[in-house]
Amino acid sequence: MDHAALDEIIRSRRTIKPPMMSDRPVSEEDLRALFENANWAPTHGLTEPWRFKIYRGEARAKLADALAMLYETALPAEDQKEGKADKLREMARLAPVVILVCMERQKVEKIRELEEIESVACAVQNMHLTAASRGLGAFWSTPPFIYKPEMNEWLGLEEKDRCLGIFYLGYPAEGQKWPKGRRRSVDGKLEFIDT
Ligand SMILES: Cc1cc2nc3c(=O)[nH]c(=O)nc-3n(C[C@H](O)[C@H](O)[C@H](O)COP(=O)(O)O)c2cc1C
């Protein structure tokens, strides 16, 4: 195992938003690797609740209009911001691949919903890391309307399923520097209990 390589990927993974992406298509091989690795996320009770809807090519225009429409209809007017619907429309058109991250609720509801959400988050992290290792930028976006019933309806999800994010994916645009990350030291977040 190459520990140093793993450390490097984890620490250099960065959020790169669609305006910083090129329109270069994402290779089938890279995309497949993302989903294969997502599929190896930990999952309580082996429910494997992650589901992905992948928009590419012309389908992005349809998605772009739907996201703008959902923003304007699913959110109360007082929660809407000037220009946000247009921004959503633009982002879905700029990124070569847009993945709607969903959670399929287990029918028997034996596993807690929180744990199913956690499991999907692990799957997203696997995708994010795989993207970084292949020089791909990604952005996990969670505008509040994705949690509304209107979103489920548009996606054809069951009532208890959830959309947990919009994952934009693409290679960084030419001349675009890989962003630098920052974190506060982990030391203040640890409490070792040894005796
Ligand atoms: C569950 C989740 C939801 C997020 N939603 C948003 C979002 O709606 N808008 C946004 O600008 N960033 C969002 N982010 C990305 C964070 O802004 C980003 O991870 C943070 O700034 C740290 O940057 P890095 O990913 O490059 O380390 C989200 C991240 C997570 C884990």
Ligand 1 atom closest to Cα of residue 143: 8
Instruction: Report which of 108, 156, 121 is spatially closest to residue 43, judged by C-alpha positions.
Output: 121
Query: What one-letter code names the amino acid at 78?
Result: E
- DSSP class of residue 96 equals S
pLDDT on residue 1:
87
How many A from CA of 109 to the centre of ligand 1?
29
Give the residue whose CA is nearest to atom 16 of ligand 1. Answer: 15
Scanning the structure block, which residue is given the tokens 């739907």? Answer: 66
Instruction: Report which of 28, 16, 152, 157 is spatially closest to residue 91, judged by C-alpha positions.
Output: 16
Q: Is the CB of 12 under 6 A from ligand 1?
A: no
The average pLDDT across 119-132 equals 98
Query: What one-letter code names the amino acid at 82?
Result: E
Q: How many residues does the chain have?
A: 195
The average pLDDT across 48-72 equals 98
Q: Is the CB of 52 under 6 A from ligand 1?
A: no
Give the rounded percent of residues in the chain with a pLDDT score beyond 90: 99
Q: How far is CA 66 from CA 57, 71, 92, 130, 141, in A?
A: 15, 8, 10, 28, 16
Q: How confident is the model at residue 9 (pLDDT cuts 50, 70, 90)?
A: very high
pLDDT per position as a tens digit, 182-193: 999 999 999 999
pLDDT on residue 189:
98
Rounded Cα distance, 74 and 88, in Å = 14
Instruction: Report which of 53, 57, 89 is spatially closest to residue 70, judged by C-alpha positions.
Output: 89
Phi then psi for 101, rounded to 5 degrees?
A: -90, 125
Domains annotated for the chain, with CATH where assigned, are 16-173 (3.40.109.10)
pLDDT on residue 165:
98
- Structure tokens, 18: 């669609």
CA 39 to chain CA centroid, Å, is 14
Q: pTM score, two decimals?
A: 0.97
How many A from CA of 139 to the centre of ligand 1?
7
